[in-house]
Structure 1
Amino acid sequence: MQYTVAIIKPHAVVNRIKIVQLLKDAGFRIVGERYVEINVDEAWYLCKDEAGKVAADNLHTENRIQALLGTAMVLLLTHERAYELMSEIIGPDDPVDARKKQPNSIRARFGDVGAFNVLAVSESYKMAVRNIQHFFPRFSDTLNGPTSDVSQERIQIDAYFREKMLPTLLDAFYDMATVKPAEPVTHLSQFLLNNNPNHPKVVRPEDANMKQ
């Protein structure tokens, strides 16, 4: 299994739902996501190649930096052939060229021109490791050696937490912030018991009538 990072550039964030769905439809599994505010320093960092260098073409580099500035959505993706598949579905770098050669590609559908091409992606394992460490540092301790991927166990734990626990916990924290109970731990435990989605509390008709 391969892991890669894809950055939905600021100009394309408005179409993020459609873009994410296309990635899922292609077979990618999203195991991490976050929004980041990219400044000039971070944009320079993202423009570096595997050797840590930035292209000498000043105009091209400037355009790439400008296209990254602002609020972007960063995705941690997994697939058996992540790098090859990503190359297939996003299309050529320039959206104008993409519309001619791959009109159904992501860049053809949502890109503008030049570096405003929807996605910046990790094109190799080395670049993926660098970007995972940068944007998803809690995964960095599971990156071991030049050929291994992010720990599958760690990914599964994260996915389990997001799916099974986080929605109910967010509701509980919102309730606590509203009620401000004197005994927050007791209140939290009772809320979780009463709102367990796996064991919903059944209200009998006579109980409902008594509350009216």
Structure 2
Amino acid sequence: MQKLQLTLAIIKPHAVKNPIALSYIRNVIKNKFVVIKTKRVSLDKETAENFYKEHVGKFFYNRLVTFMASGCIDLHVIGHSNAIELWRRLLGPTKVYKAQFEEPYCLRSLFGISDTRNVAHGSDSPTSAEREIKFFFPDFSFYDWHHNDEVVYRKGPIIFNDFLFQHVRRL
């Protein structure tokens, strides 16, 4: 079995507010990935601006920042041997209209509203995943993960804790 790759999944405010969408997305996550960390936060505008700073100056930047600060978001550090590509494939195309025509059963097609309100975010590379995970989980140690925890989450024994919405070591 290949080592687990980590990525960040962000469930956006409109999906967190929709119990049907949230339940469906959570089921996809827990059935396809090992869930390492989870938390729900409400971003202030400054934190949203800092997270999306690479998009400053783009036409959608202000709309994206305002939207991401409009309600709670769910943050998940998820693992799979091919986590980044798999999560992005499950999300589908960034543009919801395109997703509806090209990938009618992807998450963005099913629950996306617009290109900004496209249900969820997925890191686009291992470098981005590490930077984004550290942004939201500053105490997460990639060193400890790779040297101590990865093999336990890959080989077990682990169980899924529904209350925490994450996998934990079986004692």
| TM-score calculated relative to the size of structure 2 | 0.77
Which residue matches 1:153?
Answer: 148
In 1, are the aligned partners of 2:51 and 2:135 still within 8 Å (CA)? no
Change (3 A) 1:28 1:65: same
> 1:62 and 2:62 equivalent?
yes
SS at match of 2:148: helix
Letter in 2 for 1:67: F
Question: Is it true that 1:2 corresponds to 2:5 in the alignment?
Answer: yes
The CA deviation string for residues 1-55 of structure 1, in whole angstroms up to 9 with x for no partner, is 2101111011110222210112233x2111110001111111112213xxxx324
Gaps of 5+ in 1: 145-149, 167-197, 199-212
Alignment correspondent of 2:77: 76
Which of 44, 53, 57 is equivalent to 2:49?
A: 44
Note if contact 1:129-1:143 (Cα within 8 Å) is conserved in structure 2: no
Aligned length: 152
Higher helix proportion (structure 1 or 2) = 1
Letter in 1 for 2:146: S
Matched, 1:127 2:133: no
Show the counterpart of 2:168: none
Alignment correspondent of 1:34: 39
After TM superposition, where is structure 1 displaced by more than 2 Å over at least 4 residues in a row? 53-56, 150-157, 159-163
Contact kept in structure 1, 2:37 and 2:78, CA below 8 Å: yes
Q: Secondary structure at the match of 1:99?
A: helix
| Larger of the two Rg values belongs to structure | 1
Task: Return the structure number with greater strand share.
Answer: 2
Give 1:152 deviation, angstroms. 6.0
Percentage of identical aligned residues = 27
Q: Structure 2 vs 1, CA of residues 143 and 42 (structure 1 numbering), >3 Å: closer, same or farther?
A: farther
In structure 2, how many angstroms separate the alpha carbons of the residues matched to 1:161 and 1:110?
A: 28
SS in 2 for 1:137: coil
The residue matched to 1:36 in structure 2 has which SS?
strand
Q: CA RMSD in A?
A: 2.6
1:23 paired residue among 6, 26, 29: 29
Q: In 2, are the aligned partners of 1:91 and 1:107 still within 8 Å (CA)?
A: yes
Q: Which has the higher contact order (CA 8 A, sep 6+)?
A: 2
| TM-score, with length taken from structure 1 | 0.64
The answer on whether the counterparts of 2:99 and 2:108 sit within 8 Å (CA) in structure 1 is: yes
Q: Could you tell me how far apart the structure 1 residues matched to 2:63 and 2:72 are?
A: 17
Residue 125 (structure 1) shift? 1.2
Q: For residues 129 and 103 of structure 1, do their structure 2 counterparts lie closer, same or farther at Cα, with a shift above 3 Å needed?
A: same
- Which secondary structure state, in structure 2, belongs to the residue aligned with residue 132 of structure 1? helix
Gaps of 5+ in 2: 165-170
